[in-house]
Amino acid sequence: MTALVALFLLVQPCSAFTTVSLARTGTSARVGIHTRLPSIVDPDLFEDEEEEMLPIARNFVSAKYRRSAREHGREKCNKDDIAELLRSLLPPVTSQELGDEVEKTLEIILQNKENTEESINEENFVEAIVANSYWREARGLVVKELMYFDSLYSFYGTGEALLNDDDYEELKENLTWEGSSVATMNKKEALFVNAVAAAKRGIPIMDDQEYSSLKNDLRKERSWVVSRGQDALEKLGLDTFLGYLHRALA
């Protein structure tokens, strides 16, 4: 996977700055791509969609936890399992930012007396994720796109559904209504974006040869995911999953 991120970056035009809305002031700011924003978001992760989206987010994180525990042959995840999970659940950011956030979140989780390094409670983990500062800074759209990407990859890549049919359809319908480009992606496109994000997180899901073959297929199909600038939502100044990925690769 050593060449994967570099190959993706070559075809991903990205400006040196991105417009970010400031929730409390109603203004906007130009923030450098390497700059991490302070916590200035509203308390609700999904704003006026908490009732619909928060249960889906909890179900999604629970499914990730249970699969990890099962794959490692444990009833409950341990500290190492959780660190691995955090890398897949947090928005794509720089390696330093990701490492710092994983360490900080683990510390918060282990402050709960119910948890030890060898046994971390599922419910505690779920609540730590939905309250995570990176999730709340990214805001609902990025988190919804992250869940959608991960669910698509899980289903197409392993045959295992992370969300039940009702949750998946509600999530897809919500993203479609918001105008998110990820809701229109096919299997190959979703796999491509997931591969790049996973490589950036340090948990590659395919080797360079598989990646190159997939990328060539998408080029032949004239897919927008291999040669694109900002989509409509990014141009409006909204943070998106792909926008996070572009900045992490810069």
Mean pLDDT (the chain) is 78
pLDDT band at 26 (very low <50, low <70, confident <90, very high): very low
pLDDT value, residue 38: 34
What does the pLDDT look like over 39-69, one tens digit per residue?
333 456 776 777 888 999 999 999 999 999 9
Q: 120 φ, ψ to 5°?
A: -115, 125
Asked if the model's pLDDT at residue 110 lies above 90, the reply is yes
* Residues 8-17 pLDDT 10s: 444 443 333 2
Exposure letters 20-52 (e unless 16+ CB within 10 A, then b): bbeeeeeeeeeeebeebeeeebeeebbeeeeee
User: What does the pLDDT read at residue 233?
Assistant: 80
Full residue range of the structural domain in which residue 178 is found? 4-249
- How many CB atoms are closer than 10 A to CB 96? 10
CA dist., res. 14 & res. 250, Å (int): 8
Span 122-161, pLDDT tens digits: 999 999 998 888 887 777 888 999 999 899 888 887 888 9
Residue with tokens 């989206």: 53
Q: What gap in Å lies between CA 137 and CA 127, rounded to an integer?
A: 16
CA of 124: how far to CAs of 54, 77, 111, in Å?
Answer: 15, 11, 11
- Answer whether residue 6 shows pLDDT above 50: no
Of 95-99, 130-134, 162-166, 218-222, where does the model show the most confidence?
162-166
Q: So what's the pLDDT on residue 118? A: 97
Q: Exposed/middle/buried for 192, CB within 10 Å: 0-12, 13-18, 19+?
A: buried
Prediction pTM value: 0.76
- Give the three-state DSSP class for 77: strand
- Helix or strand run (H / E) with residue 153: helix 133-158
pLDDT confidence bin for 192, thresholds 50/70/90: confident
Per-residue pLDDT at 33 exceeds 80: no
Two tokens, residue 203: 């948990």
Domain count, the chain: 1
